[in-house]
A and B are shown apart, each in its own frame.
Chain A
């Protein structure tokens, strides 16, 4: 057996150990990214083989904690895919204006850029006061950053460009203040946001919501986990509610497709059918 074949077994055992010991289930993640991440963890550990990491994983909780965080490091921007936010303004905002109160779930919020982007959009549309936003992730470290809302100032230029292209009505600098080399998001954006731990791979529905954002999360899953997660998201949506996926994610091949109608095919906005 070749070394690469053995490595595949080692990675499967590593994921199994992570699951049995800590209940974090990455066994149905797309394998190529998982392999990259395990190799990254291995390189940093100074060990030679993935199988050596299993010993660390089982007996060293600090190592395991870091490994779990390493499995979900994604990097995003405020108003990533500006056309998507334009579409939200155009297609979802009019619907929200008919509600006195509504809930939004941002599933897999990572470090929170999308959460603040949406909060800004809702403020500009004078809807923020009616909103309750649940921002969830299983990565406690990312969640903490999201809650703090402090981002490197050097990234603000990109955020600003995106904001302008997304149809922003004011100036992006209205929404943060700069301190040293950080941009700190305004407190007024945070008042209606609840940050919470939730693992899409293992946890279920916790509330009925009118909008679900789950963008660039499903691309990491295999087809069976995608369907599993999509059914959770679908169950949590009220009738007529909106599901927003990432630009390169599709509902078309999933098991829940017939429960939705397509609102914006390009920007991946779907609406749950009323019946």
Chain B
């Protein structure tokens, strides 16, 4: 397996860089986390993305998904879908670690602290929803800066658009589900308009892209 470049503290550096965008610049950014926002129709997309990720996927994945507050936590939904990573609800003060997919608990906002531990809040809903994707993305952008990958999936709400834009402004990487592949395209469209993402991809391509970014393989996908 291609091991890439690993620093002493275990962070990974991309070797491929954004070669399709700026072929002369070698991007040696360490990616440290992936945040994903999903709403209506997002479950289908997640079920196509998460099972592609290997058990040794080197960075944590943090998901805010809109669900009914009294519904079971979303991690339950994916447990049977053959995902090699460990799916769990994020707990307050818990550190975000590789090997896990963390979900915001229903009816709480999920935030990432600067030390990469989680906080929860019962602040007012944002974009009519709690958890809010924007709240997660904004705090993760503060915590991870250029080393963050943000992904916006299917949904009927504009949540995530502002947050993805902040991730971009902080130098992070922005990926949006191709509206043509989204059950509900409103949320991806809003995110594309607000954030000018680096990639617009189908769920299967998003899974492959995340694996590539983390494995430092040459980038086989065309640019947006």
Contacts and interface: CB of A to CB of B under 8 A. Distances in A.
A148 to B, nearest CB: 19
A248 B108 contact: yes
Which of B122, B124, B143, B170 is most buried by chain A, counting CB atoms within 10 A of its CB?
B122
B25 interface: no
B6 interface: no
B138 A36 contact: yes
B69 to A, nearest CB: 9
A32 B70 CA distance: 25
Nearest to A215: B122
Interface in A219-275: 219-220, 223, 246-250, 253
B133 to A, nearest CB: 14
How many interface residues does chain A have, given as a range?
20 to 34
Nearest to A35: B142
Nearest to B145: A4
Contacts, number: 64
Given A4-B145, A253-B93, A36 B113 contact: no
28 contacts: A4-B170, A30-B92, A30-B113, A32-B112, A32-B114, A32-B139, A32-B142, A32-B143, A33-B111, A36-B111, A36-B135, A36-B139, A73-B124, A74-B121, A74-B122, A74-B124, A75-B124, A216-B122, A219-B108, A219-B120, A219-B121, A223-B93, A246-B122, A248-B91, A249-B92, A250-B91, A250-B92, A253-B93
Contacts of B114: 8, 31-32
B119 interface: yes
Given A32-B113, A219-B122, 4 more contacts: A4-B142, A8-B114, A249-B92, A250-B92
Q: Which 7 A-B pairs have the closest CB atoms?
A: A32-B111, A30-B119, A32-B139, A75-B124, A219-B120, A216-B122, A74-B122
Interface string B101-143: 0000101100111100001111111000000000100110011
B70 A165 contact: yes
A36 B113 CA distance: 12
B89 to A, nearest CB: 8
Interface of B: 70, 91-93, 105, 107-108, 111-114, 119-125, 135, 138-139, 142-143, 145, 170
B121 A33 contact: yes
Contacts of B125: 75
A36 B105 CA distance: 19
B119 A219 contact: yes
A82 interface: yes
A134 to B, nearest CB: 21
A195 to B, nearest CB: 20
Contacts of A248: 91-92, 105, 108, 120
Contacts of B138: 36
A186 to B, nearest CB: 26
A207 interface: no
Interface in A41-64: none
